[in-house]
Structure 1
Amino acid sequence: MNLAAFQEALNARGVEVATFFAALPTQDFTRAAPERWSAAQHLDHLIRSHEVLALALSMPRDRFGWEQRTPPGSRSAAELQSAYLEALRGGVKASGRFRFLPDPQGTQAELVQTHRDSVALLEHHLTAYCTDSELHGATLPHPALGEVSLAETLHFTLYHDLHHLRGVQTALNPQALEIP
């Protein structure tokens, strides 16, 4: 995938996520089962994830762990998904600012709009600060996956959004979906 394809995929996933969360009844948006996140907390987590990546993309390449590596390049989306799920099964937990329970601020409509804004910000930073050649040559640190290429980071972001979306959908209707 090139940057334009990633932007298109991020936008499509962003619409899918926002549409689902916007349509939830308020009680389903805010209610959480014991030891589980509410839909609002999942959405807040996705917003924070997008904002951190957008910040990383906008930083000078000698900051935030950006490095250049020699190809062979990046793992595929399927390989990255498998590595992430293996890390989760291995007990990896959120770290840094993500280790705290999300604390969504605002109404459901405001959070959905903030999510839309976070996707637009991420798309903007891809256009403004990244090149197609950086997709497989530039690397960033990832708390669960270690050093990953920019393409791997974008594949992860697409999967991560879907993972949280499917998690909420399954929590609300356990018979409807199984998430990987």
Structure 2
Amino acid sequence: MNLAAFQNALNARGAEVAAFFAALPAQDFTRAAPERWSAAQHLDHLIRSHKVLALALSMPRDRFGWGQRTPPGSRSAAELQAAYLEALRGGVKASGRFLPDPQGTQAELVQTYRDSVALLEHHLTAYCTDTELHGATLPHPALGEVTLAEMLHFTLYHDLHHLRGVQTALKPQALEIP
């Protein structure tokens, strides 16, 4: 994928995620099972992840742990997804600045999510090149050093992972008969 393809994919995934969370009944948006995140917390976590990546993209390449892979090359989306799922099975969990603390209404959080997708798209346009995709590296908290392309594949999958998690968690409730 080139930068334009990643931008299109981010916008499409962002629209899918935002539409789902916007359409949730308010009680489903804030309710959480014991030891689980609510839909609001999942959305806030995605917002936080997007904002950190946007910040990294806007920084000079000698900051934020940027490096260079030699020789250039990236794992495929499927390889990156497998590595992420393996890290999760190994006990990796969100921590620090990635822990959710949703503030605001459902509509405000959905808009903040949309804004975070637009911010990512903007920073890809303003600060990145197709050449950097498979050569420039940056740190990922669960996967270690990844190329920019790998980080973008991760971001696309990460949003889908959390969307599907919320959908799965709510599915049994949708089948309950009052």
Identify the TM-score tier after normalising by the shorter chain: over 0.9
Q: TM-score, normalised by structure 2?
A: 0.94
Are the equivalent residues in 2 in contact too, given 1:170–1:176 (CA < 8 A)?
Answer: no
TM-aligned CA deviation for residue 77 of structure 1: 0.2
Matches within 5 A, 1:101-116: 101-116=99-114
Are the equivalent residues in 1 in contact too, given 2:39–2:166 (CA < 8 A)?
Answer: yes
> More deviation in 126-135 or 68-77?
68-77
Match of 2:43 in 1: 43
Are the equivalent residues in 2 in contact too, given 1:167–1:179 (CA < 8 A)?
Answer: no
160 and 176 in structure 1: CA distance in 2 versus 1, 3 angstrom threshold: farther
Could you list the structure 1 runs, at least 4 aligned residues long, displaced by more than 4 angstroms after superposition. Answer: 174-180
TM-aligned CA deviation for residue 174 of structure 1: 4.5
Superposed CA RMSD in Å reads 3.6
TM-superposition CA deviations, 1:88-145 (whole Å, max 9, x none): 101112233xx67411111100000000000000000000000000000000000110
100 and 124 in structure 1: CA distance in 2 versus 1, 3 angstrom threshold: closer
Are the equivalent residues in 2 in contact too, given 1:68–1:139 (CA < 8 A)?
Answer: yes
Task: Calculate percent identity across the aligned residue pairs.
Answer: 93
Are the equivalent residues in 2 in contact too, given 1:170–1:178 (CA < 8 A)?
Answer: no
Q: Distance in 1 between matches of 2:177 and 2:142?
A: 19
Are the equivalent residues in 2 in contact too, given 1:28–1:172 (CA < 8 A)?
Answer: yes
176 and 134 in structure 1: CA distance in 2 versus 1, 3 angstrom threshold: farther
TM-superposition CA deviations, 1:36-65 (whole Å, max 9, x none): 000000000000000000000000000000
Q: TM-score, normalised by structure 1?
A: 0.93
Match of 1:124 in 2: 122
Are the equivalent residues in 1 in contact too, given 2:49–2:98 (CA < 8 A)?
Answer: no
57 and 126 in structure 1: CA distance in 2 versus 1, 3 angstrom threshold: same
Are the equivalent residues in 1 in contact too, given 2:45–2:98 (CA < 8 A)?
Answer: no
Q: Distance in 1 between matches of 2:75 and 2:176?
A: 25
